């Protein structure tokens, strides 16, 4: 008989995993304690913006293979494999991960289990969590086992990442758990995706180590941006040159405003906090620097705007283009763009923000900022425009589009998406992070 799956937690990860598994032919029950969200999902409405996911959700619901419930007893009776996809935000006032939701899923499910099954963690957790949960589960019911199977999907390309991952990591305690996960991921394995069976701790580390490495790469190139600003180089050209070395590679070497979102920033902090608990904090001390480099880009972007308007931003109308932490998402958690908007607001500027997808979330999170429904409305009367998220709509802007809308022709390119020569030739003062004023920003090395 085909395996039946439950997915506990309907955040980003849970919805994507549930819809993708249903599209692969599994019967899937998504579970959340939030009845409003469950109703919304059962009605085919996605609470987040993610290209391609609404279609997958709806086709899963229409096929009858996918449904959502608030009932843990129903989930316990239904599932042969239970995936834990709960969020692990930072604890209030601490860098440590808050495991309340993950612990809650296991604590609620465990006493309801009365037959052998596999519980599989997908959430990003501090190393050591899985072994503790495994003990809890095996004490609750004989034949119930735990495995850890971290997820590496990115917002904005979640569906493709989940259906065709670079690798599958399975932290397992027995050959039978290994077999179950190979059955769940049979399609991806048949398509050639490498499957790494390992121990629980290595599986947990695979996720946080990957995010730490990605964050380090971004901060490395942004550290080079600081040097370029001081020395007169062009970090975009430097990034291309470094990326052409196959040993370095060009992925995650895009300079600019740096990383944000609900994963990289909190994961590197939680990793360092966990390493400190394990008395190996020194080994990850560099992540503190990775974090600082990243945050310094935000103040630098605000300072560039200040420089363009002559130093004082008090009551100066400023247009911020971008609120999402990256293009293709409506997520504003730890958004570099909104952080810069906040810094500018703190400097006394009259900030108006526009974003094609994240306006509602931004407005809810930062009600003190001004918002506009269109790019032109946000730019009207501005003394300086800042491009802070790399949406295509912004990358395709031409100097003439804004020339008659703004009050002063000053623009800061925080994501390296504009052709600075073009803007300067049209009479704009155009500044980019990591590029001195005499050096063109260009995606091409000349
Ligand atoms: C990240 C990881 O890439 C995923 O593999 C992981 O599964 C996910 O976190 C998670 O832990 O759940 P995500 O946060 O969706 O995914 O976004 P990324 O594509 O990693 O981008 C993160 C930030 O880095 C964005 O703000 C982006 O603008 C910035 N970035 C990325 C750069 O500044 N430069 C780059 O070259 C690449």
Ligand 1 centroid distance, CA of 144 (Å): 34
155: CA distance to ligand 1 center in Å?
8
Assess whether the C-beta atom of 260 lies below 6 angstroms from ligand 1.
yes
pLDDT in tens, 41-76: 999 999 999 999 999 999 999 999 999 999 999 999
Catalytic positions, written as ranges: 263
pLDDT band at 36 (very low <50, low <70, confident <90, very high): very high
- The residue contributing the CA closest to ligand 1 atom 28 is 326
Give residue for tokens 């399609």.
Answer: 187
**Residue 329 DSSP class:** -
What is the pTM for the complete model shown? 0.95
pLDDT by residue (tens digit) across 96-142?
A: 999 999 999 999 999 999 999 999 999 999 999 999 999 999 998 88
How far is C-alpha 222 from the geometric centre of its chain's CA atoms? Answer: 18
Are residues 259 and 338 in contact, defined by beta-carbon separation less than 8 angstroms?
A: no
Report whether pLDDT(192) > 80.
yes
Nearest CA to ligand 1 atom 31: 252
Is it the case that residue 438 has pLDDT exceeding 70?
A: no
For 270-302, give the DSSP string.
HHHHHHHHTT-GGGGTHHHHHHHHHHHHHHHHH
Rg (CA), the chain: 24
Report the separation in Å between the CA atom of 247 and the middle of ligand 1, taken as the mean of its atom positions. Answer: 21
Ligand 1 binding pocket includes 414 (Cβ within 6 Å): no
Separation between Cα atoms, residue 365 and residue 225, nearest integer Å: 30
Contacting residues for 132 by C-beta, under 8 A, at least 6 apart: none
pLDDT in tens, 289-344: 999 999 999 999 999 999 999 999 999 999 999 999 999 999 999 999 999 999 99
Nearest CA to ligand 1 atom 18: 154
Query: For 206-240, how does the pLDDT look when each residue is reduced to its tens digit (9 = 90+)?
Result: 999 999 999 999 999 999 999 999 999 999 999 99
Candidates 161, 217, 254, 264: which one to mutate for ligand 1, based on the most atoms within 8 Å of Cβ? Answer: 264
Atom of ligand 1 nearest to the CA of 262: 14
Ligand 1 in reach of 219 Cβ (< 6 A): no
User: What proportions of the chain, in percent to the nearest 5, are helix, strand and coil?
Assistant: 45, 15, 40
Atom of ligand 1 at shortest distance to CA of 215?
24
Burial 405-420 (b: 16+ CB within 10 A, else e): bbebbbbbbbbbbbbb
Q: What is the DSSP track for 81-150? A: EEEE----PBPTTSSSB--HHHHHHHHHHGGG--S-EEEEE-S---TTHHHHHHHHHHHHSTTEEEEE--
145 within ligand 1 shell (Cβ under 6 A): no
Average pLDDT, the chain: 96
Nearest-angstrom CA–CA distance, 264 and 267: 5
């Amino acid at each position: 008989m085909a395996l039946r799956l439950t997915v506990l937690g309907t955040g980003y990860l849970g919805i994507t995993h549930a819809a993708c598994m249903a599209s692969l032919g599994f019967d899937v029950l998504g579970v959340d304690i939030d009845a409003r969200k469950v109703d919304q999902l059962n009605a085919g409405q996605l609470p987040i913006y993610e290209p391609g996911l609404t279609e997958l959700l709806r086709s899963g619901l229409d096929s009858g293979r996918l449904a959502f419930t608030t009932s843990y007893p129903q989930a316990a009776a239904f599932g042969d494999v239970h995936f834990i996809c709960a969020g692990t935000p930072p604890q209030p006032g601490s860098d440590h991960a808050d495991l309340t939701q993950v612990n809650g899923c296991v604590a609620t499910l465990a006493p309801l289990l009365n037959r052998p099954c596999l519980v599989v963690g997908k959430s990003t957790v501090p190393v050591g969590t899985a072994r503790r949960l495994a003990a809890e589960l095996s004490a609750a019911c004989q034949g119930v086992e735990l495995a850890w199977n971290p997820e590496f999907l990115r917002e904005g390309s979640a569906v493709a990442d989940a259906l065709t991952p670079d690798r599958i990591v399975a932290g397992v305690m027995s050959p039978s758990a290994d077999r179950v996960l190979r059955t769940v991921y049979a399609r991806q394995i048949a398509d050639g995706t490498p499957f790494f069976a390992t121990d629980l701790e290595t599986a947990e580390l695979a996720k946080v180590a990957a995010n730490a490495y990605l964050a380090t790469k971004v901060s490395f190139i942004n550290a080079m941006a600081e040097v370029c600003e001081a020395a007169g180089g062009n970090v975009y050209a430097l990034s291309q040159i470094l990326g052409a070395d196959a040993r370095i590679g060009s992925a995650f070497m895009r300079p600019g405003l740096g990383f944000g979102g609900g994963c990289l920033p909190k994961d590197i902090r939680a990793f360092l906090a966990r390493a400190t608990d394990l008395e190996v904090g020194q080994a990850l001390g560099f992540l503190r620097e990775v974090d600082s480099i990243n945050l310094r880009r935000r103040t630098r972007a605000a300072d560039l705007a200040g420089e363009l308007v002559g130093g004082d931003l008090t009551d100066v109308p400023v247009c911020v283009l971008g609120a999402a932490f990256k293009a293709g998402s409506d997520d504003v958690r730890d958004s570099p763009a909104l952080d810069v908007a906040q810094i500018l607001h703190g400097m006394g500027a009259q900030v108006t923000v526009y974003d094609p997808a994240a306006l509602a979330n931004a407005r809810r999170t930062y009600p003190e900022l001004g918002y506009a429904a269109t790019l032109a409305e946000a730019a009207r009367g501005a003394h300086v425009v800042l491009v802070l998220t790399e949406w295509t709509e912004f990358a395709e802007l031409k100097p003439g589009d804004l020339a008659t809308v703004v009050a002063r022709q000053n623009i800061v390119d925080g994501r390296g998406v504009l052709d600075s020569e073009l803007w300067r030739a049209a009479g704009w003062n155009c500044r980019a992070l990591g590029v001195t004023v005499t050096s063109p920003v260009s995606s091409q090395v000349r």
